[in-house]
Amino acid sequence: MPQATDVAAVKAYLMDLQERICAALEAADGGARFSADSWERPGGGGGRSRIIENGAVLEKGGVGFSHVFGDGMPPSATAHRPELAGRRFQAMGVSLVMHPDNPHIPTSHANVRFFIAEKEGADPVWWFGGGFDLTPYYGNEDDCVHWHRVARDACAPFGAEVYPRFKQWCDEYFFLKHRNEARGIGGLFFDDLNDWGFERSFEFLRAIGDAYLAAYLPIIERRRGMPFSAEQKTFQEYRRGRYVEFNLVWDRGTLFGLQTGGRTESILMSLPPTVRWGYDWQPEPGSAEARLVEEFLPPRDWLEGVN
Protein backbone atom coordinates (compact mmCIF):
# COMPACT_ATOMS: atom_id res chain seq x y z
CA MET A 1 0.00 0.00 0.00
CA PRO A 2 1.55 3.35 -1.00
CA GLN A 3 2.35 5.68 1.88
CA ALA A 4 0.12 8.75 2.09
CA THR A 5 1.65 12.08 1.09
CA ASP A 6 1.12 15.25 3.12
CA VAL A 7 1.48 18.11 0.66
CA ALA A 8 0.30 20.69 3.21
CA ALA A 9 3.03 19.71 5.67
CA VAL A 10 5.71 20.06 3.00
CA LYS A 11 4.43 23.51 2.03
CA ALA A 12 4.32 24.66 5.65
CA TYR A 13 7.90 23.53 6.23
CA LEU A 14 9.18 25.24 3.08
CA MET A 15 7.52 28.56 3.88
CA ASP A 16 8.91 28.47 7.42
CA LEU A 17 12.36 27.56 6.09
CA GLN A 18 12.34 30.62 3.85
CA GLU A 19 11.53 32.85 6.82
CA ARG A 20 14.19 31.31 9.06
CA ILE A 21 16.94 31.55 6.45
CA CYS A 22 16.12 35.18 5.63
CA ALA A 23 16.12 36.16 9.31
CA ALA A 24 19.48 34.48 9.93
CA LEU A 25 21.11 36.01 6.84
CA GLU A 26 19.80 39.48 7.71
CA ALA A 27 21.37 39.12 11.14
CA ALA A 28 24.64 37.92 9.62
CA ASP A 29 24.72 40.78 7.12
CA GLY A 30 24.00 43.41 9.74
CA GLY A 31 23.07 46.03 7.16
CA ALA A 32 20.50 45.30 4.48
CA ARG A 33 17.08 43.72 4.83
CA PHE A 34 15.23 41.32 2.55
CA SER A 35 12.44 42.79 0.48
CA ALA A 36 9.37 40.63 -0.17
CA ASP A 37 7.72 40.24 -3.56
CA SER A 38 4.69 37.97 -3.91
CA TRP A 39 3.62 36.81 -7.36
CA GLU A 40 1.00 34.67 -9.04
CA ARG A 41 1.40 32.29 -11.94
CA PRO A 42 -1.36 32.58 -14.56
CA GLY A 43 -1.42 28.80 -15.04
CA GLY A 44 -1.82 28.11 -11.31
CA GLY A 45 0.06 28.87 -8.13
CA GLY A 46 2.65 31.48 -7.31
CA GLY A 47 5.27 32.27 -4.77
CA ARG A 48 7.19 34.76 -2.69
CA SER A 49 10.62 36.06 -3.63
CA ARG A 50 12.82 37.59 -0.93
CA ILE A 51 15.73 39.71 -2.22
CA ILE A 52 18.64 41.35 -0.39
CA GLU A 53 20.97 43.82 -2.13
CA ASN A 54 23.92 46.08 -1.33
CA GLY A 55 24.35 44.79 2.20
CA ALA A 56 27.37 44.95 4.45
CA VAL A 57 28.23 41.37 3.41
CA LEU A 58 25.76 40.32 0.73
CA GLU A 59 26.02 42.16 -2.56
CA LYS A 60 22.94 40.31 -3.81
CA GLY A 61 20.97 37.35 -2.61
CA GLY A 62 17.61 35.75 -3.21
CA VAL A 63 15.55 33.26 -1.22
CA GLY A 64 12.51 32.18 -3.20
CA PHE A 65 9.52 30.05 -2.30
CA SER A 66 7.28 28.82 -5.10
CA HIS A 67 4.25 26.56 -5.33
CA VAL A 68 3.04 26.04 -8.88
CA PHE A 69 0.49 23.60 -10.26
CA GLY A 70 -1.25 22.80 -13.51
CA ASP A 71 -2.96 20.22 -15.65
CA GLY A 72 -0.05 19.35 -17.94
CA MET A 73 3.67 18.80 -17.71
CA PRO A 74 6.36 20.77 -19.57
CA PRO A 75 8.76 19.05 -21.99
CA SER A 76 11.62 19.27 -19.45
CA ALA A 77 9.68 16.94 -17.14
CA THR A 78 8.10 14.48 -19.56
CA ALA A 79 11.19 13.95 -21.74
CA HIS A 80 12.75 11.66 -19.13
CA ARG A 81 9.52 10.61 -17.39
CA PRO A 82 6.93 9.79 -20.08
CA GLU A 83 4.62 8.33 -17.41
CA LEU A 84 3.97 11.91 -16.23
CA ALA A 85 2.23 12.89 -19.45
CA GLY A 86 -1.42 13.75 -18.92
CA ARG A 87 -1.12 14.17 -15.16
CA ARG A 88 -1.88 17.29 -13.17
CA PHE A 89 1.10 18.36 -11.09
CA GLN A 90 2.24 20.39 -8.12
CA ALA A 91 5.82 21.57 -7.64
CA MET A 92 7.00 23.50 -4.61
CA GLY A 93 10.34 24.44 -3.18
CA VAL A 94 12.73 26.92 -1.66
CA SER A 95 15.72 27.96 -3.74
CA LEU A 96 18.40 30.41 -2.70
CA VAL A 97 21.67 31.90 -3.90
CA MET A 98 23.90 34.28 -1.94
CA HIS A 99 26.49 36.43 -3.74
CA PRO A 100 28.73 38.15 -1.17
CA ASP A 101 30.61 41.33 -1.99
CA ASN A 102 33.93 40.10 -0.54
CA PRO A 103 35.65 37.66 -2.95
CA HIS A 104 36.99 35.72 0.06
CA ILE A 105 33.44 34.67 0.95
CA PRO A 106 32.13 31.99 -1.42
CA THR A 107 28.83 32.14 -3.22
CA SER A 108 26.40 29.59 -1.81
CA HIS A 109 23.37 27.87 -3.27
CA ALA A 110 20.71 25.67 -1.70
CA ASN A 111 17.47 24.17 -2.91
CA VAL A 112 14.86 21.84 -1.44
CA ARG A 113 11.80 20.86 -3.42
CA PHE A 114 8.84 18.49 -3.71
CA PHE A 115 6.99 17.33 -6.81
CA ILE A 116 3.79 15.33 -7.14
CA ALA A 117 1.84 14.33 -10.27
CA GLU A 118 -1.63 12.79 -9.99
CA LYS A 119 -4.22 11.17 -12.21
CA GLU A 120 -7.53 9.57 -11.33
CA GLY A 121 -7.36 5.85 -10.95
CA ALA A 122 -3.56 5.79 -10.51
CA ASP A 123 -1.18 6.14 -7.61
CA PRO A 124 0.47 9.56 -7.36
CA VAL A 125 4.02 9.95 -8.64
CA TRP A 126 6.06 12.06 -6.21
CA TRP A 127 9.62 12.79 -5.20
CA PHE A 128 11.85 15.11 -3.21
CA GLY A 129 15.02 16.78 -4.42
CA GLY A 130 17.55 19.37 -3.41
CA GLY A 131 20.93 19.92 -1.83
CA PHE A 132 23.45 22.70 -1.34
CA ASP A 133 26.77 23.59 -2.95
CA LEU A 134 29.57 26.12 -2.49
CA THR A 135 31.33 28.24 -5.11
CA PRO A 136 34.52 29.85 -3.75
CA TYR A 137 36.57 32.44 -5.60
CA TYR A 138 39.67 31.97 -3.45
CA GLY A 139 40.27 28.48 -2.18
CA ASN A 140 40.39 27.83 1.56
CA GLU A 141 40.72 24.28 2.86
CA ASP A 142 39.08 25.02 6.22
CA ASP A 143 35.95 26.34 4.53
CA CYS A 144 35.70 23.37 2.17
CA VAL A 145 36.17 20.85 4.97
CA HIS A 146 33.60 22.59 7.17
CA TRP A 147 31.04 22.73 4.34
CA HIS A 148 31.40 19.04 3.58
CA ARG A 149 31.47 18.02 7.24
CA VAL A 150 28.07 19.66 7.78
CA ALA A 151 26.78 17.90 4.65
CA ARG A 152 28.09 14.54 5.84
CA ASP A 153 26.63 14.97 9.33
CA ALA A 154 23.21 15.92 7.94
CA CYS A 155 23.19 12.70 5.91
CA ALA A 156 24.60 10.43 8.63
CA PRO A 157 21.28 9.40 10.29
CA PHE A 158 20.05 8.11 6.92
CA GLY A 159 22.95 5.75 6.25
CA ALA A 160 26.71 5.86 5.78
CA GLU A 161 26.35 5.54 2.01
CA VAL A 162 24.11 8.62 1.59
CA TYR A 163 26.71 11.39 1.83
CA PRO A 164 29.24 9.89 -0.63
CA ARG A 165 26.45 9.07 -3.10
CA PHE A 166 24.86 12.52 -3.04
CA LYS A 167 28.26 14.24 -2.87
CA GLN A 168 29.28 12.49 -6.10
CA TRP A 169 25.93 13.38 -7.67
CA CYS A 170 26.59 17.03 -6.80
CA ASP A 171 30.08 16.91 -8.33
CA GLU A 172 28.64 15.47 -11.53
CA TYR A 173 25.62 17.77 -11.74
CA PHE A 174 27.27 21.15 -11.08
CA PHE A 175 29.76 20.66 -13.88
CA LEU A 176 30.16 22.92 -16.91
CA LYS A 177 30.57 20.40 -19.69
CA HIS A 178 31.45 23.07 -22.25
CA ARG A 179 34.32 24.22 -19.98
CA ASN A 180 35.24 20.78 -18.62
CA GLU A 181 35.24 22.44 -15.22
CA ALA A 182 33.32 22.18 -11.96
CA ARG A 183 31.23 25.16 -10.87
CA GLY A 184 32.51 24.98 -7.30
CA ILE A 185 33.60 22.54 -4.61
CA GLY A 186 30.26 20.77 -4.42
CA GLY A 187 28.24 19.59 -1.46
CA LEU A 188 25.08 17.54 -1.90
CA PHE A 189 22.62 17.00 -4.73
CA PHE A 190 19.72 14.54 -4.89
CA ASP A 191 16.61 14.18 -7.01
CA ASP A 192 13.76 11.71 -7.55
CA LEU A 193 13.98 10.66 -3.88
CA ASN A 194 10.98 8.48 -3.01
CA ASP A 195 12.29 4.97 -2.35
CA TRP A 196 12.47 5.60 1.43
CA GLY A 197 8.73 6.31 1.61
CA PHE A 198 7.15 9.70 2.17
CA GLU A 199 7.85 10.24 5.88
CA ARG A 200 11.52 9.25 5.77
CA SER A 201 12.13 11.15 2.53
CA PHE A 202 10.49 14.27 3.97
CA GLU A 203 12.62 13.91 7.09
CA PHE A 204 15.73 13.88 4.91
CA LEU A 205 14.57 16.98 3.04
CA ARG A 206 14.20 18.80 6.37
CA ALA A 207 17.66 17.68 7.49
CA ILE A 208 19.22 19.14 4.34
CA GLY A 209 17.19 22.34 4.42
CA ASP A 210 18.04 22.92 8.07
CA ALA A 211 21.77 22.24 7.53
CA TYR A 212 22.36 25.11 5.10
CA LEU A 213 22.79 27.85 7.72
CA ALA A 214 25.09 25.67 9.81
CA ALA A 215 27.24 25.19 6.72
CA TYR A 216 27.35 28.79 5.50
CA LEU A 217 27.17 31.20 8.44
CA PRO A 218 30.52 30.20 10.01
CA ILE A 219 32.26 30.78 6.65
CA ILE A 220 30.76 34.28 6.44
CA GLU A 221 32.01 35.09 9.92
CA ARG A 222 35.54 33.81 9.23
CA ARG A 223 35.97 35.70 5.94
CA ARG A 224 33.92 38.90 6.21
CA GLY A 225 36.75 41.04 7.57
CA MET A 226 39.39 39.99 5.06
CA PRO A 227 40.65 42.87 2.87
CA PHE A 228 40.45 42.50 -0.90
CA SER A 229 41.78 44.36 -3.91
CA ALA A 230 40.19 45.62 -7.11
CA GLU A 231 42.03 42.82 -8.95
CA GLN A 232 40.47 40.22 -6.67
CA LYS A 233 37.05 41.72 -7.27
CA THR A 234 37.68 41.48 -11.02
CA PHE A 235 38.56 37.79 -10.67
CA GLN A 236 35.36 37.22 -8.70
CA GLU A 237 33.42 38.70 -11.64
CA TYR A 238 35.16 36.39 -14.12
CA ARG A 239 34.25 33.40 -11.97
CA ARG A 240 30.70 34.64 -11.60
CA GLY A 241 30.52 34.35 -15.36
CA ARG A 242 30.89 30.59 -14.98
CA TYR A 243 27.99 30.64 -12.52
CA VAL A 244 25.79 32.41 -15.05
CA GLU A 245 26.79 29.97 -17.79
CA PHE A 246 25.78 26.98 -15.71
CA ASN A 247 22.43 28.43 -14.68
CA LEU A 248 21.42 29.41 -18.20
CA VAL A 249 22.80 26.40 -20.08
CA TRP A 250 22.61 23.36 -17.80
CA ASP A 251 20.40 23.93 -14.75
CA ARG A 252 17.25 21.78 -14.90
CA GLY A 253 15.41 23.94 -12.37
CA THR A 254 15.86 27.04 -14.52
CA LEU A 255 14.56 25.20 -17.58
CA PHE A 256 11.59 23.77 -15.66
CA GLY A 257 10.66 27.20 -14.31
CA LEU A 258 10.82 28.88 -17.71
CA GLN A 259 8.97 26.07 -19.49
CA THR A 260 6.13 26.04 -16.93
CA GLY A 261 5.54 29.75 -17.31
CA GLY A 262 7.13 30.66 -14.01
CA ARG A 263 7.98 34.22 -13.09
CA THR A 264 11.18 35.11 -14.94
CA GLU A 265 12.39 37.62 -12.34
CA SER A 266 12.16 34.98 -9.62
CA ILE A 267 13.71 32.22 -11.72
CA LEU A 268 16.69 34.41 -12.61
CA MET A 269 17.14 36.02 -9.18
CA SER A 270 20.11 33.69 -8.69
CA LEU A 271 22.21 35.63 -11.20
CA PRO A 272 24.94 37.85 -9.74
CA PRO A 273 24.74 41.66 -9.90
CA THR A 274 28.01 42.16 -11.76
CA VAL A 275 29.81 39.73 -14.03
CA ARG A 276 32.65 39.78 -16.52
CA TRP A 277 33.79 37.82 -19.55
CA GLY A 278 37.11 38.29 -21.30
CA TYR A 279 38.17 36.55 -24.46
CA ASP A 280 40.36 33.56 -23.48
CA TRP A 281 41.13 35.17 -20.14
CA GLN A 282 43.44 33.06 -17.96
CA PRO A 283 44.77 33.60 -14.43
CA GLU A 284 48.48 34.16 -13.84
CA PRO A 285 50.30 30.81 -13.49
CA GLY A 286 51.11 29.99 -9.88
CA SER A 287 48.68 32.61 -8.52
CA ALA A 288 45.91 32.13 -5.96
CA GLU A 289 43.49 32.52 -8.84
CA ALA A 290 45.13 29.67 -10.74
CA ARG A 291 45.13 27.50 -7.60
CA LEU A 292 41.36 27.75 -7.40
CA VAL A 293 40.95 26.08 -10.79
CA GLU A 294 43.84 23.64 -10.48
CA GLU A 295 43.56 22.52 -6.84
CA PHE A 296 40.08 23.30 -5.50
CA LEU A 297 37.62 22.75 -8.35
CA PRO A 298 38.59 19.21 -9.40
CA PRO A 299 36.33 16.85 -7.37
CA ARG A 300 38.05 15.41 -4.33
CA ASP A 301 37.32 13.86 -0.95
CA TRP A 302 37.41 16.88 1.37
CA LEU A 303 36.86 14.71 4.45
CA GLU A 304 39.66 12.21 3.98
CA GLY A 305 41.09 11.65 7.45
CA VAL A 306 38.56 14.08 9.03
CA ASN A 307 36.38 12.97 11.92
Per-residue pLDDT of the chain (307 residues; tens, 9 = 90+): 456 889 999 999 999 999 999 999 999 999 999 999 898 888 788 899 999 999 999 999 999 999 988 887 766 666 667 777 778 899 999 999 999 999 999 999 999 999 998 888 788 889 999 999 999 999 999 999 999 999 999 999 999 999 999 999 999 999 999 999 999 999 999 999 999 999 999 999 999 999 999 999 999 999 999 999 999 999 999 999 999 999 999 988 788 778 777 778 878 888 899 999 989 888 999 999 999 999 999 999 999 988 7
φ and ψ of 200, to 5 deg: -70, -40
Binding-site sequence positions for a divalent metal cation:
99, 109, 148, 178
Determine contact, residues 99/51, Cβ cutoff 8 Å: no
Q: How far is CA 231 from CA 59, 111, 227, 236, 298, in A?
A: 17, 31, 12, 9, 24
Q: Of residues 67, 104, 109, 146, which has the active-site annotation? A: 109
Q: How far is CA 261 from CA 45, 129, 249, in A?
A: 11, 21, 18
Rounded-to-integer distance, Cα 111 and Cα 89, Å: 19
Binding-site sequence positions:
95, 99, 109, 111-113, 148, 178, 261-263
299's CB contacts (< 8 A; 6+ apart) are 168, 171, 182, 186
CATH topology (fold) of 7-296: oxygen-dependent coproporphyrinogen oxidase (3.40.1500)
Rounded-to-integer distance, Cα 49 and Cα 35, Å: 8
Determine contact, residues 32/6, Cβ cutoff 8 Å: no
Determine contact, residues 257/61, Cβ cutoff 8 Å: no
- Using CB atoms within 10 A of its CB, is residue 124 exposed (0-12), middle (13-18) or buried (19+)? middle
- Global pTM value: 0.92
Residue from 73, 66, 61 nearest 216 by CA: 61
Fill in the amino acid letter for 170: C
Binding-site sequence positions for substrate:
95, 111-113, 261-263
User: Does the annotation count 80 as an active-site position?
Assistant: no
